[in-house]
Amino acid sequence: MQERYCKCGKRIIVQYSNRKSDNWMVRYWQMGHNFGKTIRTCPHCGRKINIDSLC
Ligand SMILES: [Zn+2]
């Protein structure tokens, strides 16, 4: 797992998994009270999360 940041400063946890070595899967997690939930958009600014847009 890696810690990345949205452009708004929100911390996003990025998890990579390659179960069958055929393709990579990337999941984004939110740390906090509802940790355990994968997210597709930033919970703070609503921006669509893309690995290239995180810093
Ligand atoms: Zn954001």
pLDDT in tens, the chain (55 residues): 889 999 999 999 998 877 766 566 788 888 776 656 788 999 899 999 988 888 8
Residue with tokens 């984004």: 28
Residue 10 Cα to ligand 1 middle (Å):
5
3-class DSSP state of 14: strand
Domain that holds residue 55: 1-55
Q: How far apart are CA 28 and CA 23, in angstroms?
A: 17
Residue 4 Cα to ligand 1 middle (Å):
11
Its pTM stands at 0.70
Per the structure, how many domains does the chain have?
1
Residue 22 Cα to ligand 1 middle (Å):
30
